[in-house]
Structure 1
Amino acid sequence: MKATSKLGFEVIQMILGNALSAFAIACFALPYDMVVSGLTGVGRMTNHYFGLSVSGTVLVINIILFILGSWILGKKFAASIVIGTISFPIFLGIFQKATMLHHLVNDPLLASVCAGIIDGVGLGLILRVGGSTGGIDVPPIILNKKLGVKIAPVMYAIDVGIFLIQIPVTKTNGIILGILYALIYSIVMNKIIVMGQGGVQLMIFSKDIEKINEKLLQLGYGTTVMHATGGYMQAPQDLVFCVVSNRNLNRVKQAALAIDSTAFITISNVSEVNGNGFTTWFNDEEYEPKVTERHEGIELTQKEE
């Protein structure tokens, strides 16, 4: 039941992501004649030269690549891209026909920014659950399987090629706005992919390292005591390694400094964290921790009323 609910949530997230991506392209990028990447860029060219529908072109090529991918890469791969293969061009066609949405902003620069943010959120939601918009992902994966070619360079080369073929039929403003749009959606997409999964890493050096370690355990954080050697004096020095969420950074730092105000603390960002001990293991209002003698964990005991 839990697995079914998770799958349902992921499907909804992929559909929403494809809808947002299509909305960004149809309502912000295409109305201002921006260069765009992927199969939408190919559709833009077929529309310019042959008058074919952008969404129709994307759908046809998507289906061809989907069949090719299913044949060469198998059903499991096909299942991972089927939602994007179908839903993205459908949403693109719907939003293209909704002409009242095509000039939500009157400034081309603002349209480029909006397109980048919305598309970045959409693609981020899709990639967070391992989905895809289909299309352009298929050829690099096939080449990787059959010829051992790395996926990323091929994908970048295809995207650059699609960008380049649009330049002769695009005004300078459309080229610059398209590049800005691509930069923004890349940044936003990467932020969305790791959103809520990151934290901060602390390395605490102190003469009272045992007390600091015990205090952090009492607060409910996972720690690792590491043995180090000073570079100048070659003196042995223990340190505490700890990864916490951003909102708990100050709590951990102040706890360490309350024990040793001269403690040397380094803090760095961590993109993604998996495993136990990242968040506190108990509710401060209801439970109090009791550190085991060997400091291997925390026993939770109900507070007495």
Structure 2
Amino acid sequence: MLIGNIILAFGIDAFALPSKLIVSGSSGVGIIIKQFLPVIDISTTVFIINMLALVVGYFYLGKEFIAGTLVSSFAFPFFLAFFENIPSLAHLTNDRLLSAIFAGICTGIGLGIVFRVGYSTGGLDIPPVIFNKKFGFSVGTMINVFDLVILIGQIPFSNFEGILYGIICVLVSTYLIDRAMMLGESNVQVIIISDRYEEIARMIYRDVDRGVTFLNVTTGYLRNETKAILVILSRRQYTSFNEDVQKIDPYAFVIASDVHSVKGRGFTLPDINLPRNY
């Protein structure tokens, strides 16, 4: 969680702010307030917003939710202030396109890591959850509404190029949030349709050390009743596994697709020691 906050704060201080890009969240509010009150640092504004959001969230969402965001609410403005006091970071690049891309990369990866471990960065992540609980509005929709209002609020203080580069930053960060949340959890789901399904299943138990699920299927043309094998593998296992299936049945019909967040035996729970002579 701390690593995610560090990456997020670094991206804003090193790339977004020096290039005057529009950004969302409490940092965006800080940019707007700084235009009217230059003496107030953005990190100070972010801290105040986080504290107010925590107080409101405590009454509407309860202790458990607030406990999960408490550390981020202090950590993010702290790291934001820390990087603000390193002047050299503001001169890493003078290319606004590079700044937009890397600001989006840092923001997306930082937020994705924080969300991945089950926390939020506090601040303006909390009001959408309250709106969802009290009025039934979608959390995702309310986050987009808040972000849109904040981005529009920065337009008077940014030139047209800054707005366009800011849009690039938001698009990159939005894409990478999902990627970072699923980092390391990508596996391959394989469905094998073959008359020799029992032999293939034994090979999986014996050589791949994975469990299987049998699916009852009916072939479309001949209407034959048979079974298909469903198995989840790591990417590293798939190539050799496919070769082994072809050795058993060269005519096997094999379907492979990416899956994420697999839970259960062999992945998030201990393996079952199956007899090797099954």
Decide whether the 8 Å contact of 1:222 with 1:278 is kept in 2: no
Describe the SS at the equivalent of 2:255: strand
1:72 deviation in Å?
Answer: 2.2
The partner residue of 2:186 within 175, 183, 198 is 198
Residue 291 to residue 37, structure 1, CA distance change in 2 (3 Å) = farther
The partner residue of 2:88 within 77, 88, 100 is 100
The answer for the alignment partner of 1:250 in structure 2 is: 239
Distance 2:10 2:29 in 1: 18
* 1:46 correspondence with 2:51: no
Q: TM-score normalized by structure 1?
A: 0.85
Distance 2:250 2:222 in 1: 22
The partner residue of 1:26 within 13, 36, 43 is 13
Distance 2:213 2:132 in 1: 40
The answer for the alignment partner of 2:258 in structure 1 is: 269
RMSD: 1.9
The partner residue of 1:237 within 207, 211, 226 is 226
Gaps of 5+ in 1: 1-13, 293-305
1:274-285 correspondence to structure 2 within 5 Å = 274-278=263-267
Describe the SS at the equivalent of 2:129: helix
1:85-124 correspondence to structure 2 within 5 Å = 85-124=73-112
1:86-235 correspondence to structure 2 within 5 Å = 86-219=74-207, 220-235=209-224
- Between the two proteins, the alignment pairs up a number of residues equal to 275
The answer for the alignment partner of 1:298 in structure 2 is: none
Describe the SS at the equivalent of 1:196: coil
1:237 deviation in Å?
Answer: 2.3
Distance 1:79 1:205 in 2: 49
Distance 2:10 2:228 in 1: 50
The answer for the alignment partner of 1:9 in structure 2 is: none
The answer for the alignment partner of 1:290 in structure 2 is: 276
Distance 2:277 2:123 in 1: 54
1:149 deviation in Å?
Answer: 2.4
Gaps of 5+ in 2: none
Residue 251 to residue 188, structure 1, CA distance change in 2 (3 Å) = same
Describe the SS at the equivalent of 1:32: coil
Q: Once structures 1 and 2 are overlaid, which stretch shifts more, 189-198 or 21-30?
A: 189-198
Decide whether the 8 Å contact of 1:244 with 1:278 is kept in 2: no
For residues 166-204 of structure 1, give each alpha carbon's deviation from its aligned partner in whole angstroms, at most 9, with x where no partner exists. 112211221111111111122222111111112011111
1:98 deviation in Å?
Answer: 1.0
Describe the SS at the equivalent of 2:211: coil
Moved over 6 A (4+): none
1:281 deviation in Å?
Answer: 5.0
Describe the SS at the equivalent of 1:168: helix
1:147 deviation in Å?
Answer: 2.3
Distance 1:77 1:211 in 2: 50
Describe the SS at the equivalent of 1:239: strand
Distance 2:167 2:271 in 1: 45
Residue 167 to residue 225, structure 1, CA distance change in 2 (3 Å) = same
Letter in 1 for 2:183: M
For residues 83-123 of structure 1, give each alpha carbon's deviation from its aligned partner in whole angstroms, at most 9, with x where no partner exists. 11111111111111211111212321111121122222211
Q: Once structures 1 and 2 are overlaid, which stretch shifts more, 83-92 or 230-239?
A: 230-239
Letter in 1 for 2:198: E
1:150 deviation in Å?
Answer: 2.3
Letter in 1 for 2:224: A
Q: Once structures 1 and 2 are overlaid, which stretch shifts more, 33-42 or 139-148?
A: 139-148
For residues 127-155 of structure 1, give each alpha carbon's deviation from its aligned partner in whole angstroms, at most 9, with x where no partner exists. 11111110111111122222222222111
For residues 40-96 of structure 1, give each alpha carbon's deviation from its aligned partner in whole angstroms, at most 9, with x where no partner exists. 111101111221321111111111111111122222121111111111111111111
